Each structure stands twice: as structure tokens, then as C-alpha cells.
Amino acid sequence: ILDITEGRFTKAENSLRKALDDTGNPEISMRARLGLGSIQELRGKLPEAEAHYRSAISLSTSNPLPGLMLATILVRQDRTDEAAELVTSIRAAHVASQAVFGACSRLQALIDARKGEAARSSSNLEFAVDVSPEDPAVLEAAGLAFLRQGKLEQGLSYLARANKLQEGRPATLNGLGYYNYIQGQHAEAAAFFDQTLAALKKSSPGKKGKETAFAKGAKAYAAHARNLVRDLEVLQVWVDEFESSAADLIDGWNEIELYGIDVAPAESNVVFKGRQQKSPDGESGIRLLRVYRSRDLERVAVRLRIDSGNVVPSLNLTGPDGTRSALSALSLYRDFDGRVRVRLRSNKGEWIEPEEPAAAGEGVVKGAAYVGNVTWAADTNFHTLEIRKARTSRGATKSNMFDLYFDGEPVAREVQVPGLSTSYQLSVMARTDALGNEYSVTVDNFKVYRAKAKKKK
């Protein structure tokens, strides 16, 4: 166990395999299989972990632990129906165990969240917390889930309790940093992200050990977030909250209503609403009338929500109309299955998508690549799509190259748009996939960040 926690996976693996070979005791063999599965899970090799957990189940059908660990792996692989069936069977087999009830409630909450059933997820999380009110891992899971659902104060309450019970949990600290960032408390957010990086450095396995997939993810998130907060110290922001729009006119924007969708201001928001006509995937939305020069734009963000319908909302950066680069485009969007995706179009009209991230042990994908599989839950909360200029390790910007984010979480990196000029047009659009489809999307605000002017000495 010590070798696993300190990242000496190969040494731990050899010891566990020896225990597996040297004993005929089913209980010891089961625990060895769980240990081997845990190592593969920490490496990010989920199918291999799944195989070990299934073997552990066959060695001890009465112990709920292998099944619970298997269900967790199934959820992480988006196999929610299999996971739900397994959780139900474990709960039914151990109805008298409060601990099993709590663990199953926590897993069911994850399953519900993946399926977009926010209310059921919240209910199951509260069951899990009721069973284990002093368990920082349970409180952390509940707090992070509530943050993802947009229930910020409830999420903060659980995370603060988790942090009080056990300081230095990276996911808890990242969650507290996210809460403060969303609230505009940037100094406090930076302090939490710094604590995350310090905690991960302190628990680093050293030269002989290997960093876990979880630690890599937590470190990447904290580093990206810390850089974002630091950038805000040198950036100024223009925010359009649509408060000056009236009488069906959106001040400063061109409304695109070619396909039966009404685009209009409504109570300091802009709403795209209606029934799709003429073209199954025709786009409706708003395009900012002002054209930005590349040097004047550091990042752009839109905060919006899906009210109803089968719809793909997107934040877009294109070449200006009437120019050679007009076809060039970069689009950050939620697809019909809930994944946040990126596509770019060259000035020849060809659509391209970034590469998927390399699997563990397969090196690094060069060029445009997804950071991971980022999802936008099927909820009615506001979320933020953001495009930022990509930078070198020394902080210099790269020509027409961008990093893309969803709610502050990195989606794709180093996405370069072929043929794009030094001027950009910005838009927020929505589309569906069939005539007659109805949908509604609400845009809350739109932000453009630029570098602050340097003070003259």
C-alpha cells in the first residue's frame, strides 16, 4: 500500500502479483486483484483496472468492495447503464449496511449526473453525506457536484467542511478556488490554486515514483486556473450584459434570424427561441458589429444556458465578412450528446477537429489536441464558453493559435486556424438538426478581454 501511495507502481505491482501466485487464499487473492486494479486506475488505464476488479468479484461474491470499485470504473468510462445495474444489485444484497448504502448513494449520484438528472443526483449526494457527515472524500464529492450544477453556496458549504476536516486535498482546494473565481474574488481564488500546487508538490512521489492520473489532472487544472487569475491582473475587460438593448434591437449586434428562430433582448439577456425552418441545421444568433484586431484581443467569453430543446450553442471567431479570411473560423460548442467540442475551418472551407489526447504511456499529441473529454450536463444552469490566445512557455502569444475552455476547464490547446487574418469577427450562434425542432437558448453576457495599456513612466 505504501508503494502505491508513493507512486512506486512497478514495485507494488510485483509484490501483488507474487501474493497472487503464492497463495490459494481467495481473500488474499481478492485484495491483490483490488490492488492491481487500483494501480491501473491510477495510471489511467481503465479497461485494465476493470479486468482486475471483475476478477476480484469472482473471488469473493459476498464482499461489496470489488463491485463498488468496478462501478466507479464503469461510470468513468460513461457506461452508466451497466454501473446503475451493478449499484442496484449491490444495494439490494446489503440492505442492512449503512456504509454500503452511503457508497451506493454516492455512486448513483455520479451516474445521475452523467445522465443529466441533476435533481436525483443532488438527492443521492445528500443521502451519502447523511451517512458519512465527517468523511472529507464524501463531502468533497458532494461539494464538487453541486458546483457543477451551479449550486454554488451549497457546494461551498460541503467543500469548506471537507477542507476543515482534512487540509491539502487537491480537488477540494481546486473547488474552493473555482467558487471564489466565479464570485470575482480573484485573490482568494489564486490562494487556493497555489495551495493545490503546493499540496501536490509536497505529495509528489519523487524521481523513482510515478505521478497518478488524478494528480496530473489536478495539477493541470490548478496551473491553468492560476494563470487565468494572474492574467486578469494585466487585462481589462469589456462586458456586454445587454442592459441597453430595447425594442427588439440588440445594441452593437447584428441579429441573424434566417431559420424561424426569433433573436431578441429579454430582461438584460438575449434569447434565441423558436421552431427551426428552411434548413435543418441553419444557424441563428448574434454577431458583434465591431471587428477586433488580433493585437486588441486576448480572450473572449460568453455565458449562456440551454433552456430547452435539442440544440448546439456555440462561441465563434471568424475572419471578417468580405475578406479573404471570411471562411476561416473557430467554433467552441456543446454537441448533441453533451460533449464540449471544437472545430475549425480553413479559408478553403474545410472543417477540422483537434486530435484526441494520447492514452497513458503513448507520448504527447503535437499540434491541436483535446485536453480531455469535457461534458456540459443536460441542465438549465448558465455556463461559460471561452476562447483564449495560446501562449508559449515564456508568455508570448502564438499567431492565430488558441486555447479553449468550458467553465474554466481546458477543452483543447494550441488550435491554429489556417488562413485567418489579423482581424476577427465574434458571434454567438445556435443550431439544431431537424426541421420543426423547437429550442431556446439564453445569453447572459459577453466579455472581451484585452491587455491593459502600460503606464508611462
Query: Rounded distance, CA 84 to CA 322, Å?
Result: 53
Q: How confident is the model at residue 248 (pLDDT cuts 50, 70, 90)?
A: low
What span, in angstroms and rounded, lies between the C-alpha atoms of 233 and 231? 5
Joined together, the cell numbers standing for residue 450 give 484585452
Q: Taking 60 as the threshold, does the pLDDT of residue 361 lie above it?
A: no
pLDDT at 77 over 60: yes
Residue 395 pLDDT class (50, 70, 90 cuts): low
Confidence of residue 39 (pLDDT cuts 50, 70, 90): confident
Asked if 437 and 276 count as a contact pair (C-beta separation under 8 A), the reply is: yes
Cβ-contact 160, 140 below 8 angstroms: no
Burial 426-452 (b: 16+ CB within 10 A, else e): bbbbbbbeeeebebbbbbbbbbbbbee
| pLDDT for the residue 247 | 56
CB proximity list for 160: less than 8 A, separation 6 or greater: 176
> Percentage of the chain with pLDDT > 70?
88
- For 43, 144, 161, 398, the CA distances from 140, given in Å and listed in that order, are 22, 6, 8, 37
Pick the residue with more confidence: 430 or 371? 430
Write out pLDDT tens, residues 176-221. 998 988 887 888 998 999 999 998 888 776 655 566 667 777 887 8
Q: What is the mean pLDDT of residues 53-62?
A: 86
Q: pTM score, two decimals?
A: 0.57
Q: Which residues pair with 262 in a beta bridge?
A: 273
The pLDDT score that the predictor gives to residue 14 is 77
Give mean pLDDT, residues 139-165: 88
pLDDT at 438: 94
pLDDT band, very low/low/confident/very high, at 174 (cuts 50, 70, 90): very high
Q: Which residue has the higher pLDDT, 349 or 411?
A: 411
Structure confidence at residue 5 as a pLDDT band (50, 70, 90): low
- Torsional sign, CA 358, 364, 366, 367: positive
- For residue 89, the model assigns a pLDDT of 92
> What's the pLDDT tens digit per position in 273-317?
999 999 999 999 999 888 888 888 888 999 999 999 999 999 999
The per-residue pLDDT for 6 is: 52
Q: Is the pLDDT of residue 436 over 90?
A: yes
pLDDT at residue 4 in the model: 56
Percent of the chain at pLDDT > 90 equals 25
Quick: pLDDT tens for 11-38. Answer: 777 777 777 766 677 888 888 888 888 8
> Contact 140/169 with Cβ under 8 angstroms?
yes
Instruction: Please report where in the chains the cell 491483490 appears, as a residue.
Output: 32
Out of 29-38, 100-109, 161-170, 357-366, which region has the weakest mean confidence (pLDDT)?
Answer: 357-366
- Stretch 421-440: mean pLDDT: 91
Q: pLDDT per residue over 86-130, tens digit each? A: 999 998 989 888 888 888 888 888 888 777 777 788 888 888 888
Least confidently predicted of 317-331, 372-386, 388-402: 388-402
pLDDT of residue 394: 65
Q: From CA 331, how far away is CA 411, in angstroms rounded?
A: 12
Mean pLDDT, rounded, for 368-382: 84
Determine the Cα–Cα distance for residues 338 and 193; give it in Å rounded to an integer.
28
CB neighbour list of residue 42: distance below 8 Å, 6 or more residues apart: 4, 9, 212, 213, 214
> Is pLDDT above 60 for 365?
no
What CA–CA distance (Å, rounded) separates 74 from 93?
Answer: 20
Using one digit for the tens of pLDDT, what is the confidence trace for 234-246? 677 777 777 765 5
Domains of the chain: 2-232 (1.25.40.10), 237-451 (2.60.120.200)
**For residues 162 and 219, what is the distance between their CA atoms, to the nearest angstrom?**
19
Looking at residue 162, its pLDDT comes to: 93
